[in-house]
């Protein structure tokens, strides 16, 4: 987590929002579910990324319309997959798994 967001992610407001949101989607990864897969969500992702300039805007930080429950693989794909491999000779597949090129 980025330093500017540390306090927010530890706040009771975020913890309560995160818990409620995960419960509302039955604790499942929303992207995997769209593919017909049942995978537990580990993270609540902000669709509009948090930045130092918007961390104080509750319409971005706490609004459920900006949230998405994701498994670890889908979250990694979101933040790293579309930017290329993490190691030479590797890539992310469509499921967010690291595979050889």
pLDDT above 90 coverage of the chain, percent: 68
Structural domain includes residue 88:
no
Structural domain includes residue 55:
yes
The mean pLDDT value for 83-93 works out to 61
Residue with tokens 């491999």: 85
Structural domain includes residue 52:
yes
Structural domain includes residue 48:
yes
pLDDT range class, residue 33, cuts 50, 70, 90: very high
Structural domain includes residue 59:
yes
Tens-digit pLDDT profile for residues 48-69: 999 999 999 999 999 999 999 9
Is the pTM above the cut of 0.95? Answer: no
Which pLDDT belongs to residue 43?
94
- For residue 92, give both structure tokens: 């992310």
Query: How far is it, in rounded angstroms, from Cα 90 to Cα 94?
Result: 13
């Amino acid at each position: 987590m980025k330093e500017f967001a540390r306090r927010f992610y530890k706040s009771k407001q975020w913890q309560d929002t995160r818990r409620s949101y995960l419960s509302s989607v039955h604790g499942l990864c929303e992207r995997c579910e769209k593919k017909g897969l049942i995978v537990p969500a580990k993270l609540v992702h902000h669709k509009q990324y948090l930045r130092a300039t918007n961390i104080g805007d509750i319409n971005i930080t706490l609004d459920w319309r900006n949230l998405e429950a994701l498994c670890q693989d889908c979250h990694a794909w979101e933040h790293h997959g579309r930017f290329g491999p993490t190691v030479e000779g590797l890539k992310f597949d469509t499921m967010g798994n690291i595979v050889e090129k």
